[in-house]
Amino acid sequence: MKSLFYPRSVVIVGVSDTPGNLGRMIAENLNIFSFPGDVYLVGRNGGRMGKRPIYQTVEDVRGNPELAVILIPAPYVPEALEACGRKGIRWVVIESGGFGEYTEERREIEQRLLLIAEHYGIRFVGPNCISIVNLDNGLVLPFMPMDPAVMRKGGVSLISQSGGIVFGGIKLFSCENIGVNKLISIGNKLDLNENDYLEYLIEDPETRIIGLYLESVSDGRRLMRLAASTDKPVVILKSNTGPASNEIARFHTSALAGNDRVCDAAMAQAGMHRVHSLSGMADLLKIFQLPPMAGSNLAIIGRSGGQIVMAADAASANGFRLIRFPDTLFKQIGKKTRAKVIRMTNPLDMGDVFDLAFYAEVVEAVLAEDAVDGVLLQHLHGRGPETEATLALIENIQVLSRKYQKPVALCIMAERDEWFKLKTFTDFPLFLEPAQALRALAASRRQAERRRNPRIPIQTTDRHLPGASRMAGIKHTFERLAAAGFKIADYTLARNCEEALRAADRIGFPVALKIASNEVVHKTDAGGVRININNRRELGVAFDEMHDRFAALLSQDKVAFTVQKMAPSGVEVILGASHDPEFGPVVLFGLGGVYVELFQDVAMRVAPVSEAEAAEMIKQIRGGALLIGFRGRPPADTASLKRLIVAFSQILIESPEIKELEINPLTVLVAGSGCIAVDARMQVRQSENVKMG
């Protein structure tokens, strides 16, 4: 893919001598940004553009361009692409719009493009995009005028499904002093998609930080695998977050695992940093230009008492610890100031100190402490004479941050003209408010933790197995779980009262009686569950009542019941699994029973799940306190639970025919006693010839 970003020559197809021609603008951008390679122009009417001739066909070009840029009406693009293939051009950017995004009828043109590209071995960007910007070599291909004055060169590269986001990013990054390297508008991503570009940028030595804007995910598991493979921060802004089109009535898991919640969990699992706005992306791109936040120990220094109090609140909300400064540090600071001017606490309020050079001394003294992982410095800038002192402070902070390899998040509030004056004279990241900076520092801490503990690569699975599906029987479902190591509460299927009584005699009272029909979705709500039945008389009465109820609702062959041994007391949890269209098999964990959908206190991961990730899932839910012991209750067997979460996730990898699977409840017994699966449901694709009964 290097030829796409670093071609020695470019041909632009769709140039005319008309002043408003967009192809001309591409050529002008290449001139303005001093692209060093050869540039050839093609347009059906010929002519000239300055000193360059406009050839009438690609074949007329005397050289051998490495890259073609096509900007002509959509119906003519296949012909132009074929001409590029005959010429030996293997990399193409199709900026033209009006394909499948315009009408369904235009998808036929897209298929022609794919066939032509396959025939000639062409890889192409787009269509319907504004193309590529590479500031490293001046390859600037958008059809709109680009200004070098507002594009600072740096280490940030952005992949975007929207051309408007690229242009918006250019403007915002310019205001935030964020230097960019490569900007890629991927458009309809008909051939090359976000994963292809991400794979290249991970290896690109000029790219240090990667941004992504996506409206859809081409292959979620490949995206996760790539992101998990790199030490480079990957910041992702994912929009188009509509609800999942799942069979919500059948499974708790479907109702809870909406597409965006799965996407959120998958990105975090792969070590990506998700944001929800361009400004949020800019904050993280800024913080990743500083040394990493290696831990949670934070020092807050400020000039405004109110601001640092809010900073302390935000620090707590983001999981930071405000450690107590050692007495030696206070003595060192005390030598530089008058008594009682500074109250020796963390946060450190320096509102009565007007010597900004002393601020830098205090910051250095704090950074020198081994226990301090990073600093938030809040500064209220005054107009006029203080400008030079503030600029000197920023420069000193920049030097100190590099010297101690710790981040200093600098928050400055100033009048509008002063704010931009400060940003004009420095490229050091500046934030407006402490809360904004602390969210960014939390991302820096996550990135540092990720580098210490690399993510387990996500393996490829078949995400879109064909075939209709139906519910598996309870016997087959329990057998599959038992084969994976789950202990199942003893049970027997019964179709009449005599069979139920014999089953209870064998199992031993107390028992539970449950409707076993797949047509009954939520058994408890439908009156299909009776628990703690203690003798034959109670069971007979319960069976007759339940049989009469469901015999009136279901056909005779669908009326069956489960008699099951009552599980010992424990914490009820749910394990659920479903297939996400973008990320494949997904595991859901939360407190079980009938309230799981009401409280929606769940954690999700893309399968397979490691034991460390299973431990994270248990800690993530608010109800996890019940598992570690609450108000005198003994701790539950979380060690066994972690192993079963891993085993549950592995079922999905080994048995891709399973569309959905749910254990609710799984009873977690006291530590050392294991877990017992009490009820389960499974949906399997019929095309796999799986036994359903």
* Lowest-confidence segment of 134-143, 187-196, 552-561, 580-589 by average pLDDT: 552-561
Which pLDDT score is estimated for 598? 64
- 445 and 368 assigned to the same domain: yes
Which pLDDT score is estimated for 599? 67
- Please indicate, yes or no, if residue 611 is contained in any of the structural domains: yes
pLDDT tens per residue, range 172-229: 999 999 999 999 999 999 999 999 999 999 999 999 999 999 988 989 999 999 999 9
474 pLDDT higher than 70: yes
User: CA 289, CA 136: separation in Å to the nearest integer?
Assistant: 18
Phi, psi of 62, rounded to the nearest 5 degrees: -75, -30
- 533 and 642 assigned to the same domain: no
User: CA 105, CA 91: separation in Å to the nearest integer?
Assistant: 26
- Please indicate, yes or no, if residue 427 is contained in any of the structural domains: yes
Domain boundary among 565, 580, 614: 565
Which residue in 417, 339, 343, 425 sits closest to 381, CA to CA?
417
- 165 and 58 assigned to the same domain: yes
* Per-residue confidence band for 355, with pLDDT thresholds at 50, 70 and 90: confident
CATH code, domain with 427: 3.40.50.261
Cα dihedral 87, 93, 97, 101 sign: positive
- 589 and 527 assigned to the same domain: no
Question: What is the share, in percent, of the chain residues with pLDDT greater than 90?
Answer: 67
- 428 and 495 assigned to the same domain: no
Mean pLDDT of 558-563: 88
Residue 492 vs residues 131, 504, 512, 537, 565: alpha-carbon distances, Å: 64, 8, 11, 18, 9
* Per-residue confidence band for 465, with pLDDT thresholds at 50, 70 and 90: low
Question: What is the share, in percent, of the chain residues with pLDDT greater than 70?
Answer: 91
CA dihedral 616, 619, 621, 624 (to 10 degrees): 140
Which pLDDT score is estimated for 275? 96
Which pLDDT score is estimated for 596? 67
Cα dihedral 187, 191, 196, 201 sign: negative
- 632 and 594 assigned to the same domain: yes
* Per-residue confidence band for 473, with pLDDT thresholds at 50, 70 and 90: confident
Q: Max Cα separation, the chain?
A: 102
Report angle CA 486, 492, 495 to the nearest 5 degrees: 140
253 pLDDT higher than 60: no
The answer to whether 142 and 131 are in contact (CB under 8 A) is: yes
- Please indicate, yes or no, if residue 463 is contained in any of the structural domains: no
Which pLDDT score is estimated for 374? 97
- 559 and 590 assigned to the same domain: no
The model's pTM: 0.88
Which pLDDT score is estimated for 462? 56
635 pLDDT higher than 70: yes
Which pLDDT score is estimated for 343? 67
Return contacts of 341-348, CB within 8 angstroms, 24+ apart: 346/299, 346/300, 346/322, 347/300, 347/301, 347/302, 347/308, 347/309, 347/311, 347/312, 347/322, 348/299, 348/300, 348/301, 348/302, 348/308
* Per-residue confidence band for 594, with pLDDT thresholds at 50, 70 and 90: low
- 521 and 396 assigned to the same domain: no
- Please indicate, yes or no, if residue 152 is contained in any of the structural domains: yes
pLDDT tens per residue, range 440-451: 999 999 999 988
Which pLDDT score is estimated for 166? 96
* Per-residue confidence band for 252, with pLDDT thresholds at 50, 70 and 90: very low
| Bigger pLDDT: 255 vs 267 | 267
Which pLDDT score is estimated for 626? 84
Which pLDDT score is estimated for 340? 55
Mean pLDDT, the chain, rounded, equals 89
29-56 burial string, b = 16+ CB within 10 Å, else e?
bbeebebebbbbbbbeebeebeebbbbe
Domain boundary among 240, 271, 299: 240
686 pLDDT higher than 90: no
The label of the residue with tokens 């998040």 reads 409
- Please indicate, yes or no, if residue 252 is contained in any of the structural domains: no
Domain count, the chain: 4
CATH code, domain with 660: 3.30.470.20
- 558 and 575 assigned to the same domain: no
- 558 and 677 assigned to the same domain: no
Highest mean pLDDT among 70-84, 322-336, 463-477, 546-560: 70-84
- Please indicate, yes or no, if residue 469 is contained in any of the structural domains: no
Mean pLDDT of 616-645: 88
Mean pLDDT of 456-470: 64
pLDDT tens per residue, range 125-136: 999 999 999 999
DSSP-derived secondary structure for 324-378: PPPHHHHHHHHTTS-TTTSB-SSSEE-TT---HHHHHHHHHHHHTSTT--EEEEE
- 157 and 301 assigned to the same domain: no
306 pLDDT higher than 90: no
Which pLDDT score is estimated for 338? 57
Domain boundary among 565, 590, 618: 565
- 42 and 133 assigned to the same domain: yes
312 pLDDT higher than 60: yes
- Please indicate, yes or no, if residue 280 is contained in any of the structural domains: no
Mean pLDDT of 157-174: 95
- Please indicate, yes or no, if residue 43 is contained in any of the structural domains: yes
Mean pLDDT of 403-431: 92
Range of the domain at 626: 571-688
CATH code, domain with 532: 3.30.1490.20
Residue 692 vs residues 471, 479, 682: alpha-carbon distances, Å: 7, 12, 10
- Token digits for 120? 């000639």
Residue 436 vs residues 309, 314, 376, 377, 432: alpha-carbon distances, Å: 14, 9, 11, 13, 7
